[in-house]
């Protein structure tokens, strides 16, 4: 089950042929939510062990169209997890200092240390997505970045980082519904921007560049998962399944007690 939405290296990707509906994979929302709660409790314990073990690193990358649910996914999946062991980094428009350096410079600074789970809300993939759609740099600049990204991710995995990459696959119809909710509910108004409408007009262009990024950068060491995201409850469940299964495979352990502890007497 954790591999259900994982892409295979070397295979073509056509997002129009991949469903955005979680109900295709799970038709019982109540049962799905119960399973998700159970997985979240397992995650809390596994993260405690990962942090205490201090030998492993885990990095999650989230990409999606606007309103795809990156923030909500991170908030729900990691609820209750010790914040000392999780670092979330949101990558916005690059600063002048960042633009003056290699595009991976700001990314490398945010990768997790041992014992940590790093979460990227957007990532280095923006430099082959938004940059390409908005024609911010010529093809001679963005085209080689696929190889640069693959080499960067190979370097991370070779140095002990386990990498999980999730594309939250939202339909254009569901995006419209979520945008409308941001307009209709006053508490959600702050989430809406005129830029959202401009980006929505570029939907087809974004699908093309997402497909190529997913295709070019699904590797044996860092495959992409395309997660149906129209139903939030299934989206959360699918990601929790992958995350918990991955941590179980890593199998972090609490360190054995130091020898001196047997002689310690608290007075």
Interatomic CA distance for residues 242 and 245, integer angstroms = 5
In 10 A of CB 253, how many CB atoms? Answer: 11
- Sketch out the chain's domains with CATH numbers: 15-251 (3.40.50.300)
Structural tokens at position 247: 């941590």
Cβ atoms of 172 and 201 closer than 8 Å: no
The mean predicted confidence, pLDDT, of the chain is 95
pLDDT value for 264: 83
Rg (CA), the chain: 20
Ranges of residues in the chain whose predicted pLDDT is under 70: none
* The CA-based dihedral angle spanning residues 97, 222, 243, 88, taken in that order and rounded to the nearest 10 degrees: 0
- Residue 22: the pLDDT is 97
Structure tokens at 240: 């929790």
Pairing of strands 117-121, 224-228: unpaired
Q: How many residues does the chain have?
A: 267
**8 Å CB contact between 127 and 146:** no
Would you state the torsion angle of the CA atoms of residues 172, 175, 181, 182, taken in this order, to the nearest 10 degrees?
-130
Q: Are 222 and 153 in contact (CB under 8 A)?
A: yes
| Contact (CB, 8 A) for 41 and 88 | no
pLDDT, position 193: 84
230-266 pLDDT tens trace: 999 999 999 999 999 999 999 999 998 777 777 788 8
> For every residue of the chain, which 3-state class applies, written as one string?
CCCCCECCCCCCCCHHHCCCCHHHCCCCHHHHHHHHHHHHHHHHHHHHHHHHHCCCEEEEEEEECCCCCHHHHHHHHCCCCCHHHEEEEECCCCCHHHHCCCCCHHHHCCCCCCCCEEEEECCHHHHHCHHHHCCCCCHHHHCCHHHHHHHHHHHHHHCCEEEEEEEEECCHHHHHHHHHHHHHCHHHHHHCCHHHHHHHCCHHHHHHHHHHHHHHCCCCCCCEEEEECCCHHHHHHHHHHHHHHHHHHHCCCCCCCCHHHHHCCCC
């Amino acid at each position: 089950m954790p591999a259900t939405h994982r892409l295979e290296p070397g295979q073509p990707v056509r997002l129009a042929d991949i469903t955005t509906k979680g109900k295709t994979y799970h038709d019982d929302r109540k049962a799905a939510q119960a399973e998700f709660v159970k997985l979240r409790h397992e995650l809390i314990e596994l993260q405690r062990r990962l942090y205490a073990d201090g030998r492993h690193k885990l990095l999650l990358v989230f990409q999606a169209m606007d309103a795809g649910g990156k923030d909500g996914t991170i908030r729900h999946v990691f609820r209750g997890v010790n914040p000392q062991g999780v670092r979330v980094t949101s990558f916005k428009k690059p600063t002048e200092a960042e633009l003056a350096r290699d595009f991976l410079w700001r990314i490398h600074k945010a990768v997790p240390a041992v014992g940590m789970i790093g979460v990227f809300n957007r990532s280095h993939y923006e430099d082959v997505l938004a940059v390409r759609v908005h024609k911010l740099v010529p093809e001679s600049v963005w085209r080689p970045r696929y190889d640069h990204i693959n080499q960067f991710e190979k370097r991370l995995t070779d140095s002990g980082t386990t990498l999980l990459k999730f594309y939250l696959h939202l339909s254009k119809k569901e995006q419209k519904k979520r945008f409308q909710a941001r307009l209709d509910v006053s508490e959600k108004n702050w989430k809406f921007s005129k830029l959202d409408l401009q980006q929505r007009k570029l939907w087809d262009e974004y699908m093309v560049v997402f497909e190529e990024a997913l295709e070019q950068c699904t590797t044996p060491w860092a495959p992409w998962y395309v997660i149906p995201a129209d139903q939030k409850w299934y989206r959360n469940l699918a990601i929790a399944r992958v995350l918990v299964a991955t941590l179980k495979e890593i199998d972090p352990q609490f360190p054995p007690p130091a020898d001196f502890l047997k002689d310690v007497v608290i007075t």
